Homo-oligomer: A and B are copies of this chain.
């Protein structure tokens, strides 16, 4: 049950998880080091249970994973997660993005020959 990375509900969970400053901060912290939920909770002005819930949201979104180590639960940001978010954004506006990228490049490098309609270009 791989759940298809680009299904609506998957993308919903992904962006929803990112739509909170505390959760983004957790992701940031756990990129560099594995931290127990208790350690994380010390960093925020809220209860342990609240942080636990935030971690659960991130986990369901696939942004972090938990690994048991003794009595602690170590949280780690999934290295692929940000890439997945990027791909979701690209899928969102890929047609437009191809056009704008090309326009930007043309304007920057070689102004004067923009006559190819790129409305349906790069799928990267």
Contacts and interface: CB of A to CB of B under 8 A. Distances in A.
A92 B19 CA distance: 12
B123 A27 contact: no
Contacts of A14: 19
Please give me the 9 A-B residue pairs with the lowest Cβ-Cβ distance, nearest first: A15-B19, A31-B96, A16-B19, A8-B21, A15-B18, A82-B93, A15-B15, A85-B89, A31-B93
Nearest to A104: B117
A49 interface: no
A80 B101 CA distance: 11
A105 to B, nearest CB: 9
Interface in A81-105: 82-83, 85-86, 89, 92-93, 95-97, 100
Contact of A82 (B8, B12, B77, B89): B89
